[in-house]
């Protein structure tokens, strides 16, 4: 079943994608605008948090290298 695409909207963009149809320009613009809004609404805090998490993990790995390697191997499905 294919629902009617409401062009020029984010829902339209998603509908294109679900139906496997290349999105038209108005739908692509609507999706781009939506993404830009999302990025603007929660910018720095989330990115800063992710960077902090990465730095903390790197410090833990340096502090406990053997434990880190063991955990990494375990998570990756065995030693490499």
How far apart are the C-alpha atoms of 24 and 35, rounded to whole Å?
A: 17
**Closest alpha carbon to 15 in 35, 1, 34:** 1
Residues near Zn ion (CB under 5 A) are 7, 12, 24, 27
In the complex, the smallest distance separating the C-beta of residue 33 from Zn ion, rounded to whole angstroms, is 14
Q: Between 7 and 10, whose beta carbon lies closer to Zn ion?
A: 7
Closer CB to Zn ion, 24 or 61, in the complex: 24
In angstroms and rounded to an integer, the radius of gyration of the C-alpha atoms of the chain is 21
Cβ-closest position to Zn ion: 27
């Amino acid at each position: 079943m294919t629902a009617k695409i409401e062009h020029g909207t984010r829902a339209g963009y998603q509908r294109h994608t679900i139906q496997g149809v290349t999105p038209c320009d108005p739908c692509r613009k609507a999706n781009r605008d939506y993404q830009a809004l999302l990025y603007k609404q929660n910018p720095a805090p989330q990115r800063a948090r992710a960077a902090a998490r990465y730095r903390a993990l790197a410090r833990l790995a340096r502090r406990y290298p053997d434990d880190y390697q063991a955990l990494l191997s375990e998570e990756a499905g065995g030693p490499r």
